[in-house]
Structure 1
Amino acid sequence: MNSQVTLNPATIPSKKSAVSAEEWQLRVDLAAAYRLIALHGWDDLIFTHLSARLPGDEHHFLINPYGMMFDEITASSLVRVDQEGNKLDDSDYDINPAGFTIHSAIHAVRDDAACVMHTHTTAGVAVSAQQEGLLALSQQSLFPLASLAYHDYEGVALRDDEKARLQADLGDANFMILRNHGLLTVGSTIADTFLSMFILQRACEIQVQALSGNRPLTPIPAGIVDTIKQQAAQVTKGMGGNLAWPGLLRKLDRNNPGYAE
């Protein structure tokens, strides 16, 4: 199996001419998202994963080659898999089996989830281990609280039967806290999903810092959460993650170019 071959993005031939323009753009944006995760310090060596569903009824999706660091992912290195976990190009590298379980489960039932992002950040795992979960302590926390689900820990996500429970727990939410495990966001675009992860991650960081202060806290009144979805659209001028995405790409081009290869 080619999993024994050392992963080296420099030796992976470009797939730009071998795929549609739409798939290539998805590959470029997803590779950028991987590198942005690394740039923000949210990666966990090689052990988390982001995916993007490809056009069509087959629910095929792109995911990272297992063993490649997030800051070296390229558009051409991403692996296309089907709902059974089969690689659709024999030249591709292997994928993380736990990543396949989580992402295939969501892509199979959420047609609106064009992208799924999952992280194991210190703050995210810390909040996932707290019994009360995410608290309404910051403005940032309100956006995920308006569409938040939880999934109990069942061990490393390798069992096929966990998919049904993951699907049921997520429902139509766009944010999920995987208990004792980490964070997950879904969205209709890669840009939206990244922005959601940024906000959820920041909310967790604030919560951990606030709880460490050993001082009385002031929770946000519950009624304010009900108004946050409309306010979110106003804040982003109706553009969602696309408002910030071009600037994020410019930052990435300055700090770690080469993802669009």
Structure 2
Amino acid sequence: MLAQHISEVEWQARCELAALYRLMAHFRMTDLIDTHISMRVPNEPNHFLINRYGILFDQMKASDLVKIDHDGHIVEAYDEGKNVNVAGFVIHSAIHHARPEIHCVIHTHTADGIAVSTQKDGLAFISQHAMKFYNRIAYHDFEGVATDLDERERLVADLGDKRTMILRNHGLLAAGISTHQAFHDMFFLERACQIQVKALSMGGQMTWPSPEVCEHTAQQFDEEDHPEYVKMAFEAALTLIATQKADYCS
């Protein structure tokens, strides 16, 4: 069994990441075998875990995850023979390398997220969910499928010190100092995009909160984004897949 060959702390990280993959499937934030979630390996700042390419998110297990370095090399013998998607490596390695405080990175290709990413003005601050990201979201222009290593520098420069980003004509990205924070940000960002798409489809006039109200609301979210709160939200979400724990932690 794989767990016998690795440290307890890494195995727990693998279980948590596998659970996050399944939560993303539960909330329908998947794209067949594409898109990725990565997690920095505890006590190993230059290594991170990412999905074995070809496994559906709702079938992800701790043993399916692959430990790689910032150059995309598999670093443990027990992961040899597993495939890693190049685009996933490029996007995630860029952020993990440039932002040492980032623990988890989520990238999605949902229909609503991509729809908003095609809008010239990007995310519209018309909902409470969207206002969480007021003046707190970055944008990165589309350059094609992310397989060019040179794009890493531009992606990191565009992200700056922010945690969330819209990849134009591509999808969404959330980078958190914890798994809980990354999940919480992505959940709210995806919901904000869903609301925007529905609101635009109605065709009527929309109400637009003032910049002052948007900033006030964003600051309220900043205060609410306490580690204990986002952890509580993540653990509550895990109850939705509690019956799968023995499977994803294997």
Query: TM class, shorter-chain normalised?
Result: over 0.9
Deviates further, 109-118 or 85-94: 85-94
Higher helix content, 1 or 2? 2
- In structure 1, give the amino acid aligned to 2:211: A
Are 1:112 and 2:101 an aligned pair? yes
Taking the aligned partners of 1:164 and 1:87, their CA distance within structure 2 comes to 22
| Aligned with residue 27 of structure 1, among 8, 14, 17 | 14
Question: Secondary structure in 1 aligned to 2:125?
Answer: coil
Taking the aligned partners of 1:85 and 1:234, their CA distance within structure 2 comes to 36
| Aligned with residue 86 of structure 2, among 97, 122, 132 | 97
Question: Secondary structure in 1 aligned to 2:25?
Answer: helix
Structure 1's 52 and 237: CA in aligned 2 closer, same or farther, altered over 3 A? closer
- The number of residue pairs the alignment matches comes to 248
| Aligned with residue 130 of structure 2, among 124, 141, 161 | 141
Deviates further, 198-207 or 242-251: 242-251
Taking the aligned partners of 1:174 and 1:194, their CA distance within structure 2 comes to 11
Question: Secondary structure in 1 aligned to 2:153?
Answer: helix
Question: Secondary structure in 1 aligned to 2:138?
Answer: strand
5+ residue gaps, structure 1: 1-13
Offset from partner CA, 1:25-72 (integer Å, 9 cap, x none): 211111001001111111000010000011346521000000001011
Taking the aligned partners of 1:178 and 1:165, their CA distance within structure 2 comes to 12
Over the aligned positions, Cα root-mean-square deviation in angstroms equals: 1.7
| Aligned with residue 250 of structure 1, among 225, 231, 239 | 239
Q: Give, in angstroms, the shift of residue 200 of structure 1.
A: 0.1
Could you state the TM-score of these two structures normalised by the residue count of structure 1?
Answer: 0.90
| Aligned with residue 172 of structure 1, among 161, 169, 185 | 161
- In structure 1, give the amino acid aligned to 2:60: I
Could you state the TM-score of these two structures normalised by the residue count of structure 2?
Answer: 0.94
CA contact (8 A) 1:50 1:116 kept: yes
